[in-house]
Structure 1
Amino acid sequence: MKIVIQRVSKASVTINEEKVAEIKNGLLVLLGIVNEDAQEDINWLVRKVANLRIFNDENGVMNKSLLESNGEAIVVSQFTLQASTKKGNRPSYIKAAKPEIAIPLYENFVKTLENELGKKVQTGEFGADMKVELLNDGPVTIIIDSKNKE
């Protein structure tokens, strides 16, 4: 399971010209899933998302977590995070999990994050053509792969 976390001043997701998710200060989390992913990957990544100290404290130092800053979150499924670009110029998405595996894991990631944060997490729509708009704050962008824990 791979995520891209972006600290944002604002972010939104639009599908068919309808805004389905919108937050102010918080995190936009792009989530890519492979067949081998499991609840262990979800638990580890959710703890990282909730507790990474990437929000400024009163001294302007990145010393607060999403939990401590009371920020919001949007989670967007993005199979292209699992692209392989080793051969040629056309990315291969063969590692990306098929919907029957990915959808339950995606939904469980969102529920687990909601439990960890104690609040609703907004989402895009799995498999939809989404327009994601964000104002990256910092900019702060972090990539985490649950298969590289050490």
Structure 2
Amino acid sequence: MLTNKETALLDAATELIREKGMIALNMSDVHKKAGYSRAAQYQSFSDKNSLLAALCMRELVQSTTAIEEQRYKELTADFTVVLRPVVYDYLKLSDRLMIDSAFGNMLKCVEALPEVEQFSFLKQGFAFLHAERTKAKNT
């Protein structure tokens, strides 16, 4: 469970990524936008890696929960972080393993969705993404 501070920092990071892009994300901008001190930020996220890993996990958990609770409209939101190869490649191995596990859980939920037109694009997208991730790991 995230604290209010962690949620504010992750929200700020998400907004900054949407505004400036992933490459321009700067830890200094995150704590300022969230209204916290630099020290407070580093108590929660020691570096950019830990911040990005937390963003990935939050997106995966929220999406998996939305599927499990049949709140499908929430799935149409764009993924800010987790589906970007540049983020995944940046993460430490331990964080990649954690993300892979959470992604696997979400993929199972997507595959279990009813075979209706509403979900066909989502299912095709995740099947493609799974194939791309598998191919990238094997190279």
TM > 0.5: no
Structure having the higher strand fraction is 1
Q: Greater helix share, 1 or 2?
A: 2
Q: TM-score, normalised by structure 2?
A: 0.29
